[in-house]
């Protein structure tokens, strides 16, 4: 369920226009900068966090030279802004749960923009922890079946032997789930085995999903998600709306 809808969303996002691509690269640039500073330097061989962000950047079609330029810039003396991690939690229409993860150099601006996105979609920002208990933090790797020459059983054994917790065979993709702390190892093993990953990241997976039947509710949650997606400070948005 989660893997299938996520895979469809990823394919849809990748088909967006170049303007959206520029926005994705801006967000990935911030993640790379933070990974260099917080993960232990610009060498991915000694910085597993940076290695994971590079893989995520590549799965978002970020060119290698753009990735290297961002890493070099982040490694420069006193370069770049000091970004802070902030997480917001809140409710969309009909009690849908939404988690927003941001990297910002201006907390007031980000808080105002996030609150505005919730308000315009008839939702509201709640207190920390108000919805996160409804999600499980997991490493999630999605593999496009069309790009995978390995058969399902072989891929499943490779993933499980590498430390994955679960493997699901969806209509158009394979989904591999790991504990957050095992994600880097599993992802690296798949990469070394030549597996092309459509998406690979530590994410928040809903324990249950909320179905929206009213046109108004669907329009409102879409408005909130679109506004959050357009915000450069917002890195990731997780929700339990059953799209």
Q: Tell me, what's the pLDDT at 14?
A: 56
Fold for the domain defined by 3-76 = Arc Repressor Mutant, subunit A (1.10.10)
pTM for this model (two decimals): 0.85
Per-residue pLDDT of 58-69, as tens digits, reads 888 899 999 999
CA atoms of 75 and 11, how far apart (whole Å): 32
**% of the chain surpassing 90 pLDDT:** 77
The CB density around residue 199, as the number of other CB atoms within 10 Å, is: 24
Q: Tell me, what's the pLDDT at 150?
A: 93
Is 17 a residue whose pLDDT tops 80? no
**% of the chain surpassing 70 pLDDT:** 90
Q: What does 15-76 look like in DSSP terms, one character per residue?
A: TS-HHHHHHHHHHHHHHHHHHHHHHTSS-GGG-HHHHHHHHHHHHTT--HHHHHHHHHHHHS
Place of tokens 């329009």: 219
Phi–psi pair at 163, nearest 5 degrees: 115, 10
Domain residue spans of the chain: 3-76, 84-133+208-239, 135-206
Q: Looking at residues 133-137, what average pLDDT do you find?
A: 97
Distances (CA, A) of 55 to 40, 72, 120, 131: 17, 17, 34, 29
Q: Are domains 3-76 and 135-206 of this chain identical in fold?
A: no
Place of tokens 């970020």: 62
Average pLDDT, the chain: 90
User: Thinking of the domain 135-206, which architecture would CATH place it in?
Assistant: 2-Layer Sandwich (3.30)
Q: What is the CATH number of domain 84-133+208-239?
A: 3.30.70.980
Q: Looking at residues 70-90, what average pLDDT do you find?
A: 83
pLDDT interval class at 18 (50, 70, 90): low
Per-residue pLDDT of 25-54, as tens digits, reads 999 999 999 999 888 899 999 999 999 999
Partner residues linked to 175 by β-bridges: 142, 168
Paired tokens of 55: 């893989």
Give all strands of the β-sheet with 84-91 in edge-to-edge order. 124-125, 84-91, 97-104, 234-239
């Amino acid at each position: 369920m989660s893997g299938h809808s996520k895979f469809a969303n990823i394919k849809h996002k990748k088909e967006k226009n170049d303007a959206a691509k520029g926005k994705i690269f801006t967000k990935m640039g911030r993640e790379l900068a933070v990974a260099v500073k917080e993960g232990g330097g610009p060498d991915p061989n000694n910085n597993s966090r940076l290695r994971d962000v590079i893989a995520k950047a590549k799965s978002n079609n970020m060119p290698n030279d753009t990735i290297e330029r961002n890493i070099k810039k982040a490694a420069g003396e006193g370069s770049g802004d000091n970004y802070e991690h902030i997480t917001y939690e809140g409710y969309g229409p009909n009690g849908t749960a939404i988690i927003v993860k941001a990297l910002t150099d201006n907390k007031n601006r980000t808080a105002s923009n996030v609150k505005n996105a919730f308000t315009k979609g008839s939702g509201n920002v709640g207190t920390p922890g108000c919805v996160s208990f409804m999600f499980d933090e997991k490493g999630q790797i999605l593999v496009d079946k069309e790009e995978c020459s390995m058969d399902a059983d072989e891929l499943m054994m490779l993933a499980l032997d590498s430390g994955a917790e679960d493997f699901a065979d969806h209509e158009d993709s394979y989904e591999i789930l790991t504990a957050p702390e095992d994600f880097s190892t599993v992802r690296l093993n798949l990469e070394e085995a030549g597996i092309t990953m459509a998406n690979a990241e530590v994410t928040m997976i809903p324990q249950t999903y909320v179905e929206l039947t009213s046109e108004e509710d669907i329009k409102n949650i879409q408005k909130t998600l679109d506004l959050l997606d357009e915000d450069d400070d917002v890195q990731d948005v997780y929700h339990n709306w059953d799209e």
